[in-house]
Structure 1
Amino acid sequence: MHLRRTLSLAAVLLSAVTLFAQEPAQEMPPLPTLKLSTSIVVLDVVVTDKKGNLVLDKTRDDFTIVEDRVPQKMRSFEPPSAHVMPPNVVVNGVDDLKKIGDAPVNILVLDELNTRFEDMAYVRYSMLKYLNAQPAVLKLPTVLLLATNTRFKQLHDYTQDRDALIAQVKNEKPELPTKMMAGRGGSAAVERMAQGLASLEQIAQASGGTPGRKNVIWVGNGFPSADLVGLDDKTAATIEAAIKQVTDMLLAARITMYTINPTMNSTVTLDVETPDDLTMAETDTGGEPFSGSVQFSTFGPATGGRAFLSRNDINNEIAEGISQGANYYTMSYAPVNGSADAAKYRNIRIVMKDPNLHATTRDGYYPPTASTANPTVGEAPKQAKAQLQMEISNAVNSAISYNGLGVTAVKAGADYTLTVKGAGLEWKMVDEKTERTEATVIAAWYGGKDGMKLLGHAGKELLATRPVGSAGDATLTMPLVVPPGATRLRFVVRDAVNGRMGTADILKP
């Protein structure tokens, strides 16, 4: 697929778009859980002492929230004890996350795409060292993901089974980072930036139905850095807009990133040769934290996490990130500045009553807009269609479970009946008695040893109505002819208004 052909985020999701290169694409007709709205901002805050030890016994009077140098009135406060796993609950799949309430989850990412082969060998060793030091039943639900040259894939669904994750790390065959080896500039480097941004967006979209904090522990170099100084205005604006979109989506999904760079004393910089080279990353660039330059590690502080650099104890860095991600205060406020200017970045700082303590939260935010949850909103038709195709193909070309919508699928004769929970859908009033929802539905079936070889797909539009004020769900019947060799059937549903997505998988359909 030609590098300069696509616009906006369609190009950013380069790896997902390859799905539609396998056969002609069909025409396709998260209510951010971040708890961020135009009136209320919710913050997760980690408190440490001068030695870096976690401090868990503070009260609301110990904190002052400052936005753009103006103190804010705290509306709500939760201590770390409010974010613990319920007793006697053990997670063995994404469907079990509905049982954990507001407890956090961990998302472990191994980045083979952007990391030298020898460094990744040490990363795998360190990941195993970390896991082997944990109890057999992990304290928090954990999913294991892998970024490769061709795909962002799930190695293991959410689980608390330590040994299952160890087995996956051991059994996954390493892959040479051929795109990284192609050089730091040109199309291969731009593709890596695009794929990295696409992966972050996919994490945000896939986890939209989990209300608690999601801690992403990204082990690897991340995409190449880009120096915006000296670029022409159009190219710089393209990159900034792209990073901003991904950052907004991470915050909206209540995701905090801890980046761990395993390469000692090295910085990879993306050489920008032409503006067209960067249309790949066009709609994913981000905000004031990235002003002047774009570095993957900046996603850490931008989301309230941390960037670990130039250390060789990766197993301890993983442990530190997970520990900080699990022990946090949550507080909210209504900004004194009522302006909803989406172009103005709001800086946030937490001042502790005890000056010997340090509070870490996200750097700030842009006031959310409709496109925060649904990036197709406000786009020109061509870009909106590309964005929609990209998001859906990203979900189809993956085994990662999406829970932004609650989706179930049941076979009924030659048909499949799909039920989508009404709570996650956007309902619009048709008249005083009726409200209506609309969503895009894709069915895809797969074969091959790993169940990831696409054999075919079909699309349909979901249109459903219900009485105003009711809690009814949306249902759809799809007649499908699935070939005998198919080993897996996946349904992908995307709300046309709020952009939330859900998936349902049937094995041996």
Structure 2
Amino acid sequence: MRLLSALAFALVVSGLLPAQTAPPIKVDVKLVNVFVNVTDASGAPVGGLTKDDFTIAEDGHPQKIAIFERESAMPLSIVLAIDTSGSVAKDLAIEKHAAHTFVHSLLRPVDHLDLIDFSSDVREVVPFTNNLKRIDYGIENLLTGPATALYSAVYLASQSLATQHGRKVLILISDGGNTVNGTDYADALEQAVRSETMVYSIIDVPIVADAGRDTGGEHAMITLSQETGGKYYYADAEHLGDAFQKVSEDLRTQYLLAYYPIHRIADSDFRRIDVTLKQPPNAHYNVRHRTGYYASPAQ
């Protein structure tokens, strides 16, 4: 080996053998997609904005917007997670009807939906599909149980969405109570953020007065939505259909801002995202997006 190396070196020096160049260094810079909703003071979507109306920063560092779309046509990967525990059982028939209407009005051929129910356990009823008949059949065959594995449902749904492409959406229908030990809130939230899942919480309110309600669980659902760029809605049985309609409208009026993050060394794996909007005089627009992402992939 030493003789061969010496011979090769001599040939290179003499010009009879070209010198080998160092292999190119490849840097894998991940495109970061940020879906943004802009609403006015009344909550109505604001359309017609341009790329120049937005600025975006990661951990305080300005970023160049590489991709901008006014209304994202990117496919939807949706997990519809329905609480079938005893505390919401009385509204299950209405939830089913609203779910049927929502799926038929929103789902396009390019979209896919996964249906799960959760009570004492989390169960995948229908795997990802755009077959409306299969989804309809699944909605009519949900199983009930006494307890509520809410955080496990969020964790497993987000884990499933991590393998999907396009916009990743979890629609969570529950009264907010988690009564099953195992996955905790922090784990559920981290998995949702790592998988880039937008959580839309429809909070079923069986009791109007705070007494008897799990307001802590409701707050957890609200925070899940706020941290992931989704939205939350309170809805009693009579207005579940309205809540589904608002989710559909929200998904149809999203702006897409994407950027390649500037390389930097940070102590934290979490990267915070801030989007600001140039607002016209006297306008009070609300800008909503996920608060950040993890540099390492979802588990």
Both structures adopt the same fold (TM-score exceeding 0.5): yes
CA distance in structure 1 between the aligned counterparts of 2:278 and 2:244, rounded to whole angstroms: 27
2:77, 2:165 within 8 Å by CA — same for their partners in 1?
no
Cα distance change of structure 1 residues 164 and 137 upon mapping to structure 2, 3 Å threshold: farther
User: Which of the numbers 154, 159, 164 marks the counterpart of 2:129?
Assistant: 159
Match of 1:432 in 2: none
Per-residue deviation, residues 402-452 of structure 1 (Å, max 9, x unmatched): xxxxxxxxxxxxxxxxxxxxxxxxxxxxxxxxxxxxxxxxxxxxxxxxxxx
Match of 1:50 in 2: 41
CA distance in structure 1 between the aligned counterparts of 2:55 and 2:108, rounded to whole angstroms: 37
1:114, 1:222 within 8 Å by CA — same for their partners in 2?
no
Match of 1:254 in 2: 196
1:224, 1:270 within 8 Å by CA — same for their partners in 2?
no
Match of 1:368 in 2: 295
Which consecutive residues of structure 1, in runs of 5 or more, have no partner in the other structure?
1-36, 85-101, 180-191, 226-237, 272-292, 375-509
CA distance in structure 1 between the aligned counterparts of 2:158 and 2:70, rounded to whole angstroms: 23
1:144 aligns with 2:115: yes
Match of 1:74 in 2: 64
Map of 1:94-493 to 2, 5 A cutoff? 102-113=74-85, 115-131=87-103, 134=105, 140-149=111-120, 151-170=121-140, 172=141, 174-175=143-144, 177-179=145-147, 192=148, 195-224=149-178, 242-264=184-206, 265=208, 266=210, 267-268=213-214, 295-311=220-236, 312-333=238-259, 338=264, 340-342=266-268, 346=272, 348-354=274-280, 355-365=283-293, 367-369=294-296, 373-374=298-299
What letter is aligned with 2:291?
Answer: D
2:58, 2:271 within 8 Å by CA — same for their partners in 1?
no
User: Cα RMSD over matched residues?
Assistant: 3.7
What letter is aligned with 1:360?
Answer: R
The offset of 1:173, in angstroms, is: 5.3
Count of aligned positions: 263
The offset of 1:321, in angstroms, is: 1.2
Aligned partner of residue 243 in structure 2, secondary structure? helix
1:126, 1:314 within 8 Å by CA — same for their partners in 2?
yes
Q: Name the larger-Rg structure.
A: 2
CA distance in structure 1 between the aligned counterparts of 2:106 and 2:263, rounded to whole angstroms: 47
What letter is aligned with 2:67?
Answer: F
Map of 1:8-23 to 2, 5 A cutoff? none
1:349, 1:363 within 8 Å by CA — same for their partners in 2?
no
The offset of 1:206, in angstroms, is: 2.0
The offset of 1:123, in angstroms, is: 1.9
Higher RCO (CA < 8 A, seq sep 6+): 2
The offset of 1:128, in angstroms, is: 3.5
1:59 aligns with 2:50: yes
Cα distance change of structure 1 residues 178 and 249 upon mapping to structure 2, 3 Å threshold: closer
1:135, 1:162 within 8 Å by CA — same for their partners in 2?
no
CA distance in structure 2 between the aligned counterparts of 1:144 and 1:338, rounded to whole angstroms: 39
What letter is aligned with 1:263?
Answer: V
Query: What TM-score comes out, normalization by structure 2 length?
Result: 0.71
Cα distance change of structure 1 residues 80 and 174 upon mapping to structure 2, 3 Å threshold: same
Cα distance change of structure 1 residues 165 and 120 upon mapping to structure 2, 3 Å threshold: same
Aligned partner of residue 314 in structure 1, secondary structure? helix
